[in-house]
Structure 1
Amino acid sequence: MKILHTADWHVGKVLRGRARADEHRAVLKELVELARAEDVDAVIVAGDVFDTSAPTPPSQALVMQTLLALREGGRQVVVLAGNHDDPRLLDVWRPVLGALGVHVVGRFRRPDDGGVLSWTTRAGEDVRLAVMPFLSHRFVVRAVEALTDTPDQHNRSYAARFAQLAAALTAGFGGDTVNLVAAHGTLPGGKLGGGEREAQTIFSYYFEATAFPPTVQYAALGHLHRRQQMPGPCPIWYSGAPIAVDFGEEHNSPGALLVTVEPGRPAQVREVTLASPRSLRTVNGSLEELEAQAESLQDAWLRVVVAEKPRAGLADRVRQILPNALTVDVDERFRPTAARREGGGAARAARTPRELFRDYLAQTGRDDPRVIALFDRLHDEVTASGGGEG
């Protein structure tokens, strides 16, 4: 059988105030086209379908439409909750999408109640898929343990109980079936993509690769945004994110995985790079240098580091040259070092607001007559209304 493994869509993501709905629509359309072109038997979406636990109606509509398109032709489609998703919302979707053939798992379930999915492929192969959505630490570590145990004990407890759950879900795996696991979480040694939620990627949320028994022929993971294979007793892969969610991921290769597997043999994996995601780039240079690069940067979201002395209106000028600049920073080499003020706090207290503001502008390299004039006008208005000089 052939599987399309994807994860970490983060639909609804807003990058520095810019909505990315059009990008997500193009990326998800490309995934649907990939499933059709490769004639896959199943699609696994290993968590973080949404970017927030309260996705907007348009975000939900886009995901719903994509899942139904992936289901076309009788493909099996499996979706599990990630740490960004609200498992309760996915469980609300569960009966409706389940009636349409899309398997949705928001929270851990018993093997006989949706924790293990079974079906037969077009080629007659029997499939067993253990579904392991994101497991919150607060559900694993009990209140009494949280009060009495050490952080290291909490970490070991989390990993041990994850392994117990995996053992319970994979206990029925045999040699004559295609045996799969889909999970969302962090394995030790995994390389971060750069945009993951740090609080849920730390050691206390790790589980061990040994949680997956050798009877598993493929473990489809989500959470780390960099596509990578992990060492373990069976083939274990993160599909990576199909779209870079932040500038920490600008050097990643957004894509998905095509997996071919048959009973009794390890899966064969092929990496696929997607063409539609908009790139994220960090550029550095003077205004003149940035202007020279402008034409080649039209299709990317930009983080700009300006190699010039800070001054009023500099960011506006950069955005005139590069309209896709989402952030504008000054190169550290051009940031002035604040000079020490003589006389200490008492001397500063004796200075007027006008003097203090002028000192601030001078020390931060923002000395501009227009800004000073505006401050003086505002200051006069305030003091004229009885605010006083101090």
Structure 2
Amino acid sequence: MRLLHTSDWHFGQHFMGKSRQAEHAALIDWLLQQVDAEQIDAVIIAGDIFDTGTPPSYARELYHRLALGLADAGVGLLLLGGNHDSPAVLSESRELLERLGVITLPALTSGEDPNVAVKVLRQRDGQPGCVVCALPYIRPRDVLSSQAGQSAESKQESLQQAIAARYATVHAAARQKAEQLAAAIGRPLPLVATGHLTTVGASRSESVREIYVGSLDAFPTAAFPPVAYIALGHIHRPQRVGGLEHIRYSGSPLPLSFDEAGQQKEMLCVDLDAGGLRQVWPLAVPRFQPLQALRCSLAELPTALATAVGQADATGRLALPGPPPLWLEIAISGESGLADLPARVQAACAEWPVEVLRIRRLRETSSGIERMAQETLEELSPDEVLKRRLAQEELAPEQLAELQARYRIVVDQLTANAVD
């Protein structure tokens, strides 16, 4: 059984006002070429298929185009809802896509039969290839009932225990299903699990938004069930979890923020057999739209631009029809007194095939650390705003933890209302 593990496509994303439609269309074409070249049996997208709970019509068209393309290729597709996805949107075409062999798990519901999350992925010849504990993003309300008077630590522990318990019940049902199939076909089937969450030690980027009660980045790897492979989403940087070969984030296939511009994006090919995991190897995703973050002085900008454009020409500028302009974030140091800095930066860029999406100023602090100055609220995440505001107060540790817990509850409620 050969799986392709990917996640966090974010169909419909606008990158500082720029549409990603052309990039996603090119990504689908590339993926369909890869599943043929690598003889992939099934694709798992581990959450955040869409960028918002109300994706535009072209994002839905891309979603259906991907499903149809894989169905035509005879490749299975398992779609898991993420924290950005609306369960209602993923459910609206669920029955139709099932006719094409597409399996969709939009969300969990409280008290749900664990067998609902047990899915069988098949090989190209139609034979069962693996049994999946198919868990999407788990909202706290899916597994917990709120209790008055709980501390932040207690809420975090309760959520971790509830998620671990859900994994355990689904794993037990999946193991039973695998045993039944093994008796019928005469060979063991490997078990796979999915998840859309943050785990211990996972390295995040600025485009990842946490909306859990408390801090779920302490979810322990030992709480995952014993399976051959765990396909995770939510973190955009590809990585092993805890150095373990079988627990992986594939990362997003497109850079979703400027701090991801230097990452080599990838998808993961996963080979499984009756004995479990055989090997995992990455497929490097081309850069369909070049983007870079430049950090330099105004005097250094022309040289930095020449280098950036040269690098873009050498990597990804031919991946789309016609060379797309290089998207830039430019942070200028040592010019805090210039009122016309944006105009000077734009003038320096005028002769280059670039689009400047954001201009920042850098200043030196007394400690020698470069910090962003003159930031707007639009440039800051809600978490960063809270962090900076709390830093101005003198709070006891328990007060700080309680405020952070209350903040997470509010954000979770707002997000749930937005996607339902």
TM-score, normalising length: structure 2: 0.73
User: Is 1:217 the counterpart of 2:189 in the alignment?
Assistant: no
Shift of 1:142: 1.1
Where does residue 72 of structure 2 map in the other structure?
72
Shift of 1:100: 1.4
The 5 A counterparts of 1:21-40 are: 21-40=21-40
Distance in 2, Cα, partners of 1:194 & 1:202: 19
Where does residue 289 of structure 2 map in the other structure?
278
Deviates more, 1:318-327 or 1:42-51: 318-327
**Contact kept? 2:43, 2:75, Cα under 8 Å:** yes
**Contact kept? 1:186, 1:201, Cα under 8 Å:** no
Distance in 2, Cα, partners of 1:266 & 1:98: 28
Distance in 2, Cα, partners of 1:229 & 1:95: 34
Distance in 2, Cα, partners of 1:168 & 1:45: 22
Structure 1 residues 165 and 14 mapped into 2: Cα distance closer, same or farther (>3 Å)? same
> What CA deviation, in whole Å up to 9, does each residue of 1:40-86 have, x standing for no partner?
00000000011111100011111210122122232110001000111
> What CA deviation, in whole Å up to 9, does each residue of 1:223-277 have, x standing for no partner?
0111111149881111011111012222322111010011222241001211134
1:55 match: secondary structure: coil
Shift of 1:184: 0.8
Structure 1 residues 125 and 92 mapped into 2: Cα distance closer, same or farther (>3 Å)? closer
Task: Quote the sequence identity (%).
Answer: 30
Structure 1 residues 232 and 287 mapped into 2: Cα distance closer, same or farther (>3 Å)? closer
Letter of the aligned partner of 2:166 in structure 1? L
**Contact kept? 2:199, 2:216, Cα under 8 Å:** no
TM-score, normalising length: structure 1: 0.78
**Contact kept? 2:76, 2:122, Cα under 8 Å:** no
**Pick aligned residue for 2:327 from 301, 310, 320:** 301
Where does residue 276 of structure 2 map in the other structure?
265
Shift of 1:8: 0.5
Q: For the pair shown, which has the larger CA radius of gyration, 1 or 2? A: 1
Distance in 1, Cα, partners of 2:89 & 2:249: 24
Letter of the aligned partner of 1:317 in structure 2? R
Distance in 1, Cα, partners of 2:243 & 2:298: 50
Structure 1 residues 27 and 122 mapped into 2: Cα distance closer, same or farther (>3 Å)? closer
- Unpaired stretches in structure 1, ≥5 consecutive residues: 335-390
CA RMSD of aligned residues (A): 2.4
**Contact kept? 2:201, 2:217, Cα under 8 Å:** no
Letter of the aligned partner of 2:257 in structure 1? D
Distance in 1, Cα, partners of 2:15 & 2:213: 21
The 5 A counterparts of 1:122-271 are: 122=124, 124-143=127-146, 145=147, 147-171=148-172, 172-173=174-175, 174=178, 176-200=188-212, 203-204=215-216, 206-214=218-226, 216-231=227-242, 235-271=246-282
Letter of the aligned partner of 1:271 in structure 2? P
Deviates more, 1:51-60 or 1:315-324: 315-324
> What CA deviation, in whole Å up to 9, does each residue of 1:171-219 have, x standing for no partner?
14257112111211111111113320033496246533223332x1111
Distance in 1, Cα, partners of 2:223 & 2:95: 30
Structure 1 residues 201 and 253 mapped into 2: Cα distance closer, same or farther (>3 Å)? farther
Shift of 1:91: 1.6
Aligned length: 330
User: Is 1:325 the counterpart of 2:356 in the alignment?
Assistant: yes
User: Is 1:9 the counterpart of 2:9 in the alignment?
Assistant: yes
Distance in 1, Cα, partners of 2:153 & 2:278: 35
Deviates more, 1:292-301 or 1:2-11: 292-301
Letter of the aligned partner of 2:232 in structure 1? L
Structure 1 residues 309 and 9 mapped into 2: Cα distance closer, same or farther (>3 Å)? same
Letter of the aligned partner of 2:203 in structure 1? K
User: Is 1:315 the counterpart of 2:349 in the alignment?
Assistant: no
**Contact kept? 2:152, 2:214, Cα under 8 Å:** no
Where does residue 59 of structure 1 map in the other structure?
59
Distance in 2, Cα, partners of 1:149 & 1:201: 12
1:142 match: secondary structure: coil
Where does residue 382 of structure 1 map in the other structure?
none
Distance in 1, Cα, partners of 2:242 & 2:140: 24
The 5 A counterparts of 1:78-93 are: 78-93=78-93
- Unpaired stretches in structure 2, ≥5 consecutive residues: 180-187, 313-325, 366-420
Where does residue 19 of structure 1 map in the other structure?
19
Distance in 2, Cα, partners of 1:148 & 1:201: 15
**Contact kept? 1:48, 1:83, Cα under 8 Å:** yes
Shift of 1:95: 0.7
